[in-house]
Structure 1
Amino acid sequence: MPQAPLDAIVKIETFIISIPRETPYLGPLKDGEFINEKGYLIRKGNRSIYPSTDMTLLIKVTGESGLVGWGECYGIAAPEAPKAIIDDLVGPTLIGRDPSEPMVIHEDMYDLMRVRGFWGGYYVDALGGLDIAIWDLYGKLTGLSVSQLLGGRRHDTIPAYVSGLPRATLTERCDLAVDFVKKGFKCFKFAAAVSDEGIVQEMAALREAVGPDIDLTVDLHWKFEASEAIRLIRRLEQYNLYFAEAPCQPEDLEGQKRVSEGIGVPLALGEEWRTVYEYRPRLEARCMGIIQPEIGHTGITPFIQIGHMAQAFHIKIIPHASISVGIFMAASLQATSALQRVPYHEYQHSIFDRNLGFTTGDMACEAGHYTVPTGPGLGVEPTEEVFDYVVEA
């Protein structure tokens, strides 16, 4: 006879959150860039669309006991899409399910759309947010943290690399990097999409500003053909580049492999991939030395599967961090703390520092390290104030 659920799921709710910010993500607007009537802007440097606010989707899963699990998924563009997938399609199928079976539930959710483009995009993002919420509820039911439920916590703190230097000029960006060095941070990533003075010039200036002992990385934002990327990265290597991120278009597996084989530093890839099925062929082809899973895309279940697969290939894991009010950031820290080969975790300081006030708990990023939240489940919950920024779909 099947056992009764530990705490059957009785309700699932979703909330689009949009928090205004003075400076858009990646820094001030460049010539020719503008915010349209829907609140989005297109960065000319990488032709990608971004919100002018901190946009995200929160998910609330309630058990029959009244306990609540919180999730969050990647919702920076058209969050109405994952919201509709959860509200109308997947969420109702989870009523009555046992939250102590998060991996089984994730497999079942994934199978629902197996013949309809199941392996990417908003559908898998929606599953990721639900998955995080179910793991959180499971942790609260057992009194254990997510990292304990995943097999154990290896790290109470995780080194953080400073992602982005959102200032208008190269001099200001260098000054900002120096300020972070004084605070104890040892690694930085600059964004090629806004390197108007030149990518090599920015790398050279940053190296001179921060000195020889700081790790410097570059996000190339999928801008280059493989041969162009190899030539550029080779020029950056003289400044002791730590890794190069995303030089070719995400679907260009052959180009990724060529770049990885043609450079002398690790290639970092993966923020846009959501499943082991996208990672596996690239791991087999040795396309990268570092993977960058984004838990706002994956959720906890695929994230840990991807992490274990990468470890089997002796690949380092440096998770990506996007726009979040802190719920999937906590999930990423919880899952990352259960993995071994983790030299850094991305630190989106312009997002994390402010939005930390919208979560409870002891999660923090100070003196170059994240503090992994303690307590059951994710170790954090949204504050009441975040719901002042709910947007109706």
Structure 2
Amino acid sequence: MPPLDAIAKVESFIISIPRDVPYLGPLREGERINEKGYVIRKGNRSIYPTSDMSVLVKVTSESGKVGWGETYGIVAPQAVISIIDEVLGPVLIGRDPGDPVVLHEDLYDLMRVRGFFGGYYVDSLAGIDIAIWDLYGKCLNRPLSSLLGGTRHQTIPAYVSGLPKATLRERCDLAVEWIGKGYKAIKFAAAMSDDGIVKEMAALREAVGPEIDLMVDLHWKFTSGEAIRLIRRLEAHNLYFAEAPCEPEDIEGQEIVARGIGTPLALGEEWRTTYEYRPRFERRCMSIIQPEMGHTGVTEFLHIGRMAHAFHVDTIPHASIGIGIFMAASLQATAALKRVPYHEYQHSIFDKNLRYVTGDMGCANGAYTLPSGPGLGVEPHPDVFNYIRKA
């Protein structure tokens, strides 16, 4: 059978959009922006860009149709660009975008025997995979969700992620403001809880009332014993879920925490494949998974979501820094899954950068609106290319 519309060209671009306030809020005492534009947050010892940095992928077919992808490129995006331009892109030339799963498997196989089954390699593959699915949808004039088994949800409940204000009082006021806009769930970042995590939880619960779902991101800061003790104290304030309490590689600690608390444990934003998820499913390490489209791509996201369903685990996808392309892919793929209570809403990123994509994707009154149109339903706005950063 001849190709649907063979791939003719693959391109990648680093996008860096300035921010007035760094991600997670104003700088704390002892935090500084280094010469490369990064800041290390003392609360979780993690490095972040002070701009919204991402990598866009453009796949063009022989007939001129274009598929757009985006991947996680917030730190050293040159690594992602190099992998796409040197390894993945050239292999795709002449291939059929109507075979997205086959292409994903073939590209994954290229480097697996060298140990590159994670990190920047799979991030690069995620951006390529999203672009190919977008191109496939455009070739068939169908939305991505319909190609993934059908659209179960036209809207998806959103939880407000982060309260980027300097003081606890300001964060409580901001939470109340979001509730007034129709949102029913809020997550706070423990790394920014300068007055204490339990005190922050208690103050937020008092501010928003008993009916709002409150979550906490613990940023991998604790041992299993410390996490259990802390989460049990937070449970007194009706905690909806606790996220990422232990170091990502500590499977045993994750299992111990899950068995030692009464609140659902949410994990998974840093994992990229079913191979990382499967041992955690088997050991019942979590009640909620948080796949990040910018790490997984569409193909692996669906594999992970289907596996979660088989283990009776809910999916509440993670949403990272980006201009909105992999966010649209995440919404499209999430719309094809059954057990989806919420999708993360990074309001300080999503709202600011929505102008850099075309289409009708949006988030208001507590829910995302699924983008319409073929493929992802969105494309980069021409203005975004004013923010290209050289590799």
Q: Give the aligned partner of residue 239 of structure 1.
A: 237
Shift of 1:4: 1.5
1:79 matches 2:77: yes
Cα distance in 1 for residues equivalent to 2:93 and 2:226: 51
What SS class does the counterpart of residue 224 from structure 1 fall into?
Answer: coil
1:135 matches 2:133: yes
Shift of 1:118: 2.4
1:81-138, CA deviations, whole angstroms, 9 ceiling, x for partnerless residues?
0110000111100000000000000000000001112221000000000000000000
Aligned partner letter, 2:279 = P
Matches within 5 A, 1:1-393: 3-393=1-391
1:219-253, CA deviations, whole angstroms, 9 ceiling, x for partnerless residues?
00000000000000000000000000000000000
Cα distance in 1 for residues equivalent to 2:203 and 2:302: 37
Long gaps (5+) in structure 1? none
What SS class does the counterpart of residue 285 from structure 2 fall into?
Answer: coil
Long gaps (5+) in structure 2? none
What SS class does the counterpart of residue 3 from structure 2 fall into?
Answer: coil
Aligned partner letter, 2:21 = T
Cα distance in 2 for residues equivalent to 1:260 and 1:83: 38
What SS class does the counterpart of residue 299 from structure 1 fall into?
Answer: helix
Aligned partner letter, 2:297 = G
TM-score (norm 1): 0.99
Cα distance in 2 for residues equivalent to 1:50 and 1:273: 18
What SS class does the counterpart of residue 172 from structure 1 fall into?
Answer: helix
Aligned partner letter, 1:200 = V
What SS class does the counterpart of residue 241 from structure 2 fall into?
Answer: strand
1:243-279, CA deviations, whole angstroms, 9 ceiling, x for partnerless residues?
0000000000000000000000100000000000000
The percent of aligned pairs where both chains have the same amino acid is 73
TM-score (norm 2): 1.00
Cα distance in 1 for residues equivalent to 2:92 and 2:80: 16
**After the TM superposition, which parts of structure 1 deviate over 2 Å for at least 4 consecutive aligned residues?**
none
Considering only aligned residues, what root-mean-square deviation do their CA atoms show, in Å? 0.4
Aligned partner letter, 2:166 = A
Shift of 1:379: 0.2
Cα distance in 2 for residues equivalent to 1:177 and 1:100: 44
What SS class does the counterpart of residue 299 from structure 2 fall into?
Answer: helix
Shift of 1:18: 0.2
